[in-house]
Amino acid sequence: MTDHPPHIAKRMSEIQPFHVMDLLACARQLEAEGRSIIHLEIGEPDFPTADPIIKAGQQALANKRTQYTPATGLPELRQAIADYYQQKFAVEIPVSRIVITPGASGALHLALGVLINPDDQVLMADPGYPCNRHFVRLLEGRAQSIPVDSSTGYQLNAELIKNNWTDRTIAALIASPSNPTGTLVARSAMQEILALLENTQGRLIVDEIYQGLVYGVDDYTALEFTEQAFVINSFSKYFGMTGWRLGWLVVPEEYMDAVDRLAQNIFLAAPTISQYAALAALTDETEIILRQRRDEFKKRRDYLLTALRALGFEIPVSPQGAFYIYANCSKFTDDSFKFVYQLLEQAGVAVTPGIDFGSYKAAQHVRFAYTRPIEVLAEGVKRIAEFVNNC
Amino acid sequence: MTDHPPHIAKRMSEIQPFHVMDLLACARQLEAEGRSIIHLEIGEPDFPTADPIIKAGQQALANKRTQYTPATGLPELRQAIADYYQQKFAVEIPVSRIVITPGASGALHLALGVLINPDDQVLMADPGYPCNRHFVRLLEGRAQSIPVDSSTGYQLNAELIKNNWTDRTIAALIASPSNPTGTLVARSAMQEILALLENTQGRLIVDEIYQGLVYGVDDYTALEFTEQAFVINSFSKYFGMTGWRLGWLVVPEEYMDAVDRLAQNIFLAAPTISQYAALAALTDETEIILRQRRDEFKKRRDYLLTALRALGFEIPVSPQGAFYIYANCSKFTDDSFKFVYQLLEQAGVAVTPGIDFGSYKAAQHVRFAYTRPIEVLAEGVKRIAEFVNNC
């Protein structure tokens, strides 16, 4: 047929791959050649899904729960999430505002889908999770990536939002804990942001997908302070259900009709077995396991943070959540992309280059994930030490 | 907070709900009050997922297959789908062109996402599956809904595509078998369409999600004739895996990079357990069960088609696939929306109004789904007979 280059949507020139995928392919190739590779690039916990959840999934299959649920999700699971907010944060969320989604990706898609018109702008932090800006672009909006640094804990705050708000800005997106920085937005800062947006008529979208994975600080939800924010959550991280593809969205009441319509059309529904299994994720039995895992993540963070600082990586804000450390590597390189490939090829350690999280000082940063046991992290640190001593 | 009406994306005024959802809610309410309702509105087979697939899902859970797969899907499943095309249609599809998606919805999303720029137009049949036009709208494209009638088997053909093609048209979407009409595009008609698009540089998107559910005719795939079309398929219908949310997309080679990037960003990956389970959907053992089910659907179609015609519904083109009959009800009403509510309330039979599939002669049509056993269909027919005799 035609030799002409294909017609391709313009958005695709701005929707980038995760560069770490190429690095991972390279790592797999080295492993296939017999090399040992320490994986500090993978944003997925090493723990398999907890047994009570697995068992609930098997039971759902035995009960032949294989048909569609309503687009907004299994009513029992929506209720269980409402109960979870009540028990954990003492906040009352009407079940009618909780929508079960295929992963947090689905939740973000719904929130942005009902908000964004073409060329509308959404404020977000750089560095930040790249899918956020790509979703905005998919819907023909414009991500306003605001450079953030250690002075604000790598987070947007009310001042940054105010100073960067334009006539076309319709929302701000906050992730707490953040990927890649592991930093949190303090309660008081969240309240200031909400107060500001109340005046500007802007919407806040809060990514709470790492909720529960916080270390040494109190956890909270933006829902304690507002009924007007879109709040995204996930069963992937704290609940350890990545491959099940299940998340949820808490929706301001007046958007529920639109969100329901959009969900009907773009997903039909989240996976049924995952929804039944997730009922077991919210039980006391599972909570015991999940807390143990959180404690293990805390130990890993403590270990890796200390070790990386000792090696000369600059980490001015101690990460308090998620399972990432965002480190300034400018003592060793002015090109973190080149650095990560050298580290992989010469030392057998895979980490994620800063470019995967934005452009602001990306070449001076890398992200370490502590999704492997401490003994693996220790081997990684040993190899990195040898490598940087030769830099 | 604000009393102002919320900022809401303009697209949401054009993304409609399935009207049948309200009807279903009404039916559930009547059932809660003790009424017996015959459900001929539900587009989901009554069979649970076949046992070999259920068992494979349970085994995947026992093996703790709970982490992400690659964005393009489990390599073994992509290979199994390539083998399936080889065995069933004697067509060689490189594994690299097969992408596993969260439902056929995910596949359509990817195809349109890499093709559509704002205001680009996509040709599709009216009546047709409403999500198609809503996906186009979500991405800021414009669906060109072309009225089709019995003269073309309720399908677009080369002439309709040629006559309606504009400077802004970039693709045509064909569903064969079609929801709601159950009609097929003949091989020769498909080849004519492909020949036409080769000249216009337009793309064809072919929805083959009811593939396998055809009665008394030979099945085929558009992939027999072209490497340039996007072909959407699903494990939901023939393979009976609705709630598992799994489909696939066959992609023209030169779009694979873009499709992979988009999948990474909007889904991360399809549900892992569903992907492992689907491996068992493509085995000979399961195929025996699926063929029996197809034969049962054929019997139901034969029964219901004859019965509805005898009652006075006009069905000028015999449906040859899927599990739907699209019937002209103008002998009984000039308002099919009112008709379906009367039929529900007075006779206890739920069917889908034409408006859920477009606007062309929607008020003169309803859709019957034969997703219930013949004895249930027979009771429905009895009730409809009594009702229309009083019309």
Q: Each residue of A255-298: pLDDT tens digit? A: 999 999 999 999 999 999 999 999 999 999 999 999 999 999 99
Which pLDDT score is estimated for A235? 98
Which pLDDT score is estimated for B199? 79
Which pLDDT score is estimated for A17? 85
Respond yes or no on whether the N-terminal peptide bond of residue A271 is cis (omega within 30° of 0).
no
Q: Each residue of A209-261: pLDDT tens digit? A: 999 999 999 999 999 999 999 999 999 999 999 999 999 999 999 999 999 99
Which pLDDT score is estimated for A390? 82
Q: Each residue of A306-360: pLDDT tens digit? A: 999 999 999 999 999 999 999 999 999 999 999 999 999 999 999 999 999 999 9
Q: Per the CB < 8 Å rule, is A44 touching B226?
A: no
Which of B131, B203, B266 is opposite residue A265, by nearest beta carbon?
B131
Higher-pLDDT residue of A146 and B17 is A146
Sign of the Cα torsion B89, B93, B95, B101 reads: negative
Measure the CA–CA gap between A9 and B205, rounded to whole angstroms.
15
Which pLDDT score is estimated for A43? 87
Q: Examine the pLDDT at B2 and tell me if it is beyond 50.
A: no
- Contacts of residue A6, Cβ cutoff 8 Å, sequence gap at least 6: B203, B252, B254, B255
Within an 8 Å CB–CB cutoff, is residue B269 touching chain A? yes
Q: Let me know: does B151 contact B160? Beta carbons within 8 Å.
A: no
What φ, ψ does residue B124 adopt, rounded to 5°? -155, 160
- Contacts of residue A337, Cβ cutoff 8 Å, sequence gap at least 6: A19, A353, A354, A355, A363
Q: Each residue of A93-120: pLDDT tens digit? A: 999 999 999 999 999 999 999 999 999 9
Which pLDDT score is estimated for A4? 44
Burial class (CB in 10 A: 0-12, 13-18, 19+), B166: exposed
Which pLDDT score is estimated for A24? 87
Within an 8 Å CB–CB cutoff, is residue B43 touching chain A? no
Q: Which fold has domain B10-48+286-389?
A: Aspartate Aminotransferase, domain 1 (3.90.1150)
* pLDDT interval class at A3 (50, 70, 90): very low
| Cβ-Cβ contacts under 8 Å, B266 against chain A | 105, 109, 131, 134-135, 138
| Cβ-Cβ contacts under 8 Å, B245 against chain A | 102, 245, 267-272
- For range B93-120, the mean pLDDT: 97
List the beta bridge partners of residue A250.
A98, A231
User: Could you tell me the CA-to-CA distances from A135 to A169, A359, B71, B229 in Å, in that order?
Assistant: 16, 17, 16, 25
- Contacts of residue A71, Cβ cutoff 8 Å, sequence gap at least 6: A260, A263, A264, A267, A268, A269
Which pLDDT score is estimated for B43? 87
Side-chain half-sphere CA neighbours of A173 within 13 A: 32
Side-chain half-sphere CA neighbours of A361 within 13 A: 19
Which pLDDT score is estimated for B3? 42
Q: Examine the pLDDT at B72 and tell me if it is beyond 50.
A: yes
Q: Per the CB < 8 Å rule, is B61 touching A54?
A: yes
Apex B297 CA angle, B293 and B301, nearest 5: 170
Q: Each residue of A132-189: pLDDT tens digit? A: 999 999 999 999 999 999 999 999 999 999 999 999 999 999 999 999 999 999 999 9
DSSP B232-271: EEESSSTT--GGG--EEEE--GGGHHHHHHHHHHHTSS--
The residues in B 153-212 lying below 8 A from A, measured between CB atoms, are 170, 198, 201, 203
Within an 8 Å CB–CB cutoff, is residue B273 touching chain A? yes
The residues in B 347-366 lying below 8 A from A, measured between CB atoms, are none
Q: Examine the pLDDT at A31 and tell me if it is beyond 80.
A: yes
- For range B319-324, the mean pLDDT: 98
- Over the Cα atoms of chain B, what is R_g? 21
Which of A198, A245, A261 is opposite residue B16, by nearest beta carbon?
A261
Span A51-285 CATH architecture: 3-Layer(aba) Sandwich (3.40)
Q: B142-147 and A230-234 as β-strands: parallel, antiparallel, unpaired?
A: unpaired
Structural domain boundaries of chain B?
Answer: 10-48+286-389, 51-285
Distance from CA of B312 to the nearest CA of A (A): 33
Which pLDDT score is estimated for A91? 98
Which pLDDT score is estimated for B20? 87
Which pLDDT score is estimated for B189? 97
Q: What is the ipTM of this complex?
A: 0.95
Measure the CA–CA gap between B114 and B135, rounded to whole angstroms.
12
Query: What is the residue type of B200?
Result: T
Alpha helices in A63-147 (DSSP H): 75-89, 103-115, 130-138
* pLDDT interval class at A130 (50, 70, 90): very high
The residues in B 131-160 lying below 8 A from A, measured between CB atoms, are 131, 134-135, 138-140
Query: What is the residue type of A100?
Result: I
Q: Each residue of A51-76: pLDDT tens digit? A: 999 999 999 999 999 999 999 999 99
Q: Each residue of B139-193: pLDDT tens digit? A: 999 999 999 999 999 999 999 999 999 999 999 999 999 999 999 999 999 999 9
Q: Examine the pLDDT at B122 and tell me if it is beyond 70.
A: yes
Which pair of tokens denotes residue A38?
A: 């320490």
List the beta bridge partners of residue B233.
B248
Which pLDDT score is estimated for B103? 97
Number of H helices, E strands in chain B: 12, 12
Q: Per the CB < 8 Å rule, is A268 touching B138?
A: no
| Cβ-Cβ contacts under 8 Å, B130 against chain A | 265
| Length, in residues, of chain A | 391
Which range is least confidently modeled, B19-28, B35-44, B281-290? Answer: B19-28
Q: Per the CB < 8 Å rule, is B203 touching A7?
A: yes
DSSP B327-342: EE-TTT-S-HHHHHHH
* pLDDT interval class at B1 (50, 70, 90): very low
